[in-house]
């Protein structure tokens, strides 16, 4: 599902114009991004937690010159941990084998 489809489904579910749903998604994205930039977590009970972590600097291999070792700088990366309800709902929808 892409952002446009998500906006359409939200609009249908809440009986609001699609533009309002798109604005809601954009606002959500902006709030989550800014919160993570400030080293804070966003927790939605039952759904999950968005957080950021720092991936340490390390040595790597230049893909253009495999014999050359390069320094890969430390970088902040997003992380998502699924909440209990989300995990339980996905487990319940798994077909039996």
Place of tokens 């699924």: 82
Does domain 3-92 correspond to CATH entry 3.40.1260.10?
no
Give the DSSP H or E segment for 61: strand 58-61
Q: pLDDT 10s digit of each residue in the chain, 97 long?
A: 999 999 999 999 999 999 999 999 999 999 999 999 999 999 999 999 999 999 999 999 999 999 999 999 999 999 999 999 999 999 988 776 6
Domain boundaries, the chain: 3-92
pLDDT of residue 55: 95
CA distance 22 to 30: 12
Q: Which two tokens stand for residue 68?
A: 């050359």
pLDDT of residue 95: 77
pLDDT of residue 96: 67
Residue 83's nearest CA partner among 50, 36, 57 is 50
pLDDT of residue 21: 97
CA distance 19 to 63: 43
């Amino acid at each position: 599902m892409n952002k446009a489809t998500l906006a359409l489904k939200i609009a249908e579910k809440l009986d609001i114009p699609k533009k309002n749903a798109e604005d809601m998604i954009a606002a959500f994205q902006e709030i989550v991004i800014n919160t993570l930039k400030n080293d804070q977590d966003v927790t939605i009970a039952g759904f999950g937690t968005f957080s950021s972590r720092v991936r340490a600097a390390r040595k790597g291999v230049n893909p253009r010159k495999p014999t050359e070792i390069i320094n890969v700088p430390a970088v902040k990366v997003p992380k998502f941990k699924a909440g209990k309800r989300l995990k339980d709902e996905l487990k319940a929808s798994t077909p039996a084998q």
